[in-house]
Amino acid sequence: MKDYQKLAEIQQDLSTGLLRCSDLVDLYLERIDSTRHLNLFVEVFADEARRRAAEVDQKLAAGTAGKLAGLVIGLKDVLCYQGHTLTAGSGVLKGFRSLFTATAVNRLLAEDAIVIGRQNCDEFAMGSSTETSIYGPAHNPLDPARVTGGSSGASAAAVSAGLCHAALGSDTGGSVRQPASFCGVIGVKPTYGRVSRWGLIAYASSFDQIGPITRSVEDAARILEVMAGKDEYDNTSSSQPVPSYFDALQTPQAPATIGYIRDAVESPGLDPEIRAATFQLLEKLREEGHTVKAFDFPLMAYVVPCYYVLTTAEASSNLSRFDGVHYGYRAQADGDLETLYVKSRTEGFGPEVRKRIMLGSFVLSSGYYDAYYTQAMKVRRLIREKTEEILTQCDYLVLPTAPTPAFRLGEKTDDPVEMYLSDIYTVHANLAGVPAISVPAGIHSSGLPFGIQLMGKRFDEAGMLRLASKIHSQNFLQVM
């Protein structure tokens, strides 16, 4: 069978009878079974996916199929899917089954997408390597000794390995884009509020966004177009009209002003080959007729500490509901209710989640709230305002996605600061609430892929996707 890069290619073969959805599902199931050593899927919906594929095949024959017929997707284990197990990679949710389906997932199902399984992730999406999951670490299919990135690492790896055509991840500080970079695929973080968070297990509610992971920008545009839009169940979702992102890709790319942040690209912590590729891309864009401008961003040193102060604070609040009483894991405890809470949460949560809850509780505590949380909120406002100011002077910003290619499993687990700094280029977009996309940029001398990131103005996903598509399809960047 062909190695399909785009849904359009699948749908073309479905329309001519060269392919059936059932064939696709069987192929993906065989591949999943043969790559179990990578630990990417924590549950496979084999029988259900086959039934769903047969139904979509019937719809195709009758001419009533939805616009995503032929799309086989995986779901990160933080997205609700009614009647299916949901654990967020944590022991505290052991045995829990979703009572409803996330809005984003429902909208894809309504257009005849097929869900093939639930994918591994860092516990409660807290991690940059998919090593904190209760199910064990995910392995990069391009080098199983390397991480997949995180927290949507298994989802990106599954798309890269051809175990599903696309996947849905969640991006709180780069959790879609960074693993996309490490696995050589495309990952999109929409503008905050562009996609409903209803049915997404919350990590940090003012940061989280659901985003697609694909092999082509075209497919990312098609999936995002279906998912986006106002949702009555999520009052943070925007009522801003949703344009046709797919149609926007057909519009020629007009000359634009492309900015880059000097502090990011010239940082000594950035891998020299990724720096060279970033400047190579900027030069190619200049040759194509775009204007390239450098900007200073004096707040770059504050983005990671600001992000971790605020997200841990929100996490400590969001995760307070997992108490061992209402649902999920309950410890065997004699004594009072407080002892039950403490034992259930201590045994149910992994070390990284416990650490972030304690950090969040500390920055919200009496005597420290103003010193940490309030100050971080002020810094976030400055970051957002400075970013918006820069984006009034340019159309898009170019940054590296991650400072390095995928690192080795276990390499950074003993150094949390080093691990957190792997998010240095991605947390910016979440703090500012703007859209961003990671596009494969080249192959490092280590043999591993790496990505380059575009950031756009709020709700300008259409323009951002158009430029990303041009960069990806024209293969601007040479192999390093």
- Residues with a known catalytic role: 76, 151, 175
Token pair of 305 as six digits: 């500490």
Q: What is the DSSP letter of 270?
A: S
Q: Which of 184, 297, 264 is nearest to 426 (CA)?
A: 264
The tokens describing 5, both together, are 């890069």
DSSP 69-134: TT-EEEEETTB--TTSB--TT-GGGTT-B-SS--HHHHHHHHTT-EEEEEE--SGGG--SSS-S-T
Closest CA to 185 of 461, 418, 468: 468
User: At 404, which amino acid appears?
Assistant: T
**Token digits of residue 151:** 């927290």
Query: Phi and psi for 362 in degrees, rounded to 5?
Result: -65, -45
CA dist list (Å): 72 to 6, 239, 256, 304, 416: 12, 28, 35, 35, 36
CB 217 within 8 A of CB 249: yes
Measured CA distances, 239 to 184, 234, 410 (Å):
33, 11, 43
444 Cβ neighbours under 8 A, 6+ residues apart: 271, 273, 274, 405, 450, 480
The encoded tokens of residue 33 equal 């079974």
Retrieve residue 447's tokens: 């043999």
**Cα Dmax for the chain:** 72
Q: Where are the beta strands (DSSP E) in 172-308?
A: 186-189, 209-214, 257-261, 291-295
